[in-house]
Amino acid sequence: LEIYLRGLAGERPELPVTYDELEVAARGAMTAEAFAYVAGGAGSERTLRANRAAFDRWRLVPRMLRSVTDRELSTEVLGTPMAAPVLLAPVGTASVIHPDAERAQARAAADLGLASVLSTAASTSMEEVAAAAPEANRWFQLYWPNDPELAESLVRRAERAGYRAIVVTVDTWTMAWRPRDLALGHLPFLHGHGLANYFSDPVFRSRLAAPPESGPEARRAAILAFTGLFGNPSLSWSDLATLRSWTTLPVLVKGVCHPDDARAALDAGADGVVVSNHGGRQVDGARAALDCLVDVADAVAARGPVLFDSGIRSGADVLVALALGADAVLVGRLWAFGLALAGHRGVVHAMRALLAELDLTMALAGYRSPADLDRRALAFER
């Protein structure tokens, strides 16, 4: 209605309302390097495309005359209330996109009552983000470094700073083969983006000969130290117990594709899983995340929440994922493109458009709340 009323007054929406147009506009607002980093995927980008193609095979079958005046999008996941089952996914090194970076992410989440997941590889420290959006429902995403004391320090800081869950990402102990980044010779970390949680960490700082801010050489050494500590390929499921011992917060495992891994995560003490192939950025040729969701949701049954991401572009996509068994979804590139276009305002805009389409499509399809949705809402088209 807001958009139509503005149209009546001769105003067009200031920013695009579809993902594809947001992406085109964002491309014009970003450096070629930043755009390649955000939009790109691993290898030949087969999985990036498969994530989208999977959504095209599921169709909603709308139901009529079901009294949909009173609708409810709000939900709660592991004790965190959310105005809608949509979270802002962790997107690292956001200062390469816009200087507002992760502050804009958390502020937008606070404005809309959504939950927001801050990346370990953020350009703003978790304490600064907490101070910028104290009322936001914030979760912290852990890239588990190969220094156990540093890993513990990051988790304990997140709990102290008011983050309400730990999302441990298990699919990215190193960056994948990403030709777009390789072609441009650009990795945001090497240019100093995404290091705030490390540079502000007492354990990390204790590993350095000199503080990163003491001069260009020290900064360079700190960046190199970061690259040496970033990932941990030796982790196994039994390590989740160690993570549990560091925090009383709920723990979710992000990057689960196989149903056996979902079972392993829960058996190892995780409270929930995030079905995700990192937006097609890690294993090229991996199965579409949406296709994995069906099997994972069946394997998890009612043992814990199943969240989903990778390929959500619209409110209708959110509905499909919810109907296939997701308790909530995360979106990454969508908010990142909003950020590129207009900082905090752009993130709010992109998320509001998604939520408006979700609400409208849900109602027009005959559902009053996400809880009413199940696979009977869908038909599979070969």
Q: Which residues bind ligand FNR (CB under 6 A)?
A: 37-38, 89-92, 119, 121, 141, 169, 254, 276, 278-279, 281, 309-312, 330-333, 336
CB of 143 vs ligand FNR, minimal distance in Å: 6
Count of Cβ atoms closer than 10 Å to residue 265 Cβ = 28
Task: Choose between 38 and 328: whose C-beta lies nearer to ligand FNR.
Answer: 38
Longest dimension (CA), the chain: 69
166 is in an annotated binding site: no
DSSP for 281-298 reads TSSTTPPPHHHHHHHHHH
Q: How far is CA 252 from CA 101, 115, 141, 373, in A?
A: 24, 14, 9, 23
313 is in an annotated binding site: yes
CB of 127 vs ligand FNR, minimal distance in Å: 18
What's the sign of the alpha-carbon dihedral 107, 109, 115, 116? Answer: negative
The tally of CA atoms less than 13 A away on the side-chain side of residue 370 is: 26
278 is in an annotated binding site: yes
CB of 256 vs ligand FNR, minimal distance in Å: 12
17 is in an annotated binding site: no
- Give the bridge partners for 141, in sequence order: 167
CB of 128 vs ligand FNR, minimal distance in Å: 16
Task: Choose between 37 and 226: whose C-beta lies nearer to ligand FNR.
Answer: 37
141 is in an annotated binding site: yes
Task: Choose between 119 and 368: whose C-beta lies nearer to ligand FNR.
Answer: 119
DSSP for 106-171 reads HHHHHHHT-EEEE-TT-SS-HHHHHHH-TTSEEEEEE---S-HHHHHHHHHHHHHTT---EEEE-S
Task: Choose between 157 and 278: whose C-beta lies nearer to ligand FNR.
Answer: 278
Which residue's C-beta sits nearest to ligand FNR? Answer: 332
Task: Choose between 92 and 304: whose C-beta lies nearer to ligand FNR.
Answer: 92
Q: Is 278 a catalytic residue?
A: yes
What's the sign of the alpha-carbon dihedral 340, 341, 343, 349? Answer: negative
Separation CA 263–CA 270 (nearest Å): 10
Separation CA 152–CA 123 (nearest Å): 20
162 is in an annotated binding site: no
CB of 280 vs ligand FNR, minimal distance in Å: 7
Residues making up the chain, counted from first to last: 382
Active-site annotation holder among 98, 193, 278, 344 = 278
Residue stretches of the annotated binding site: 37, 90-92, 119, 141, 143, 169, 178, 254, 276, 278, 281, 309-313, 332-333
Question: Which residues are tagged catalytic?
Answer: 278
Residue stretches of the annotated binding site for glyoxylate: 37, 143, 178, 254, 278, 281
Residue stretches of the annotated binding site for FMN: 90-92, 119, 141, 169, 276, 309-313, 332-333
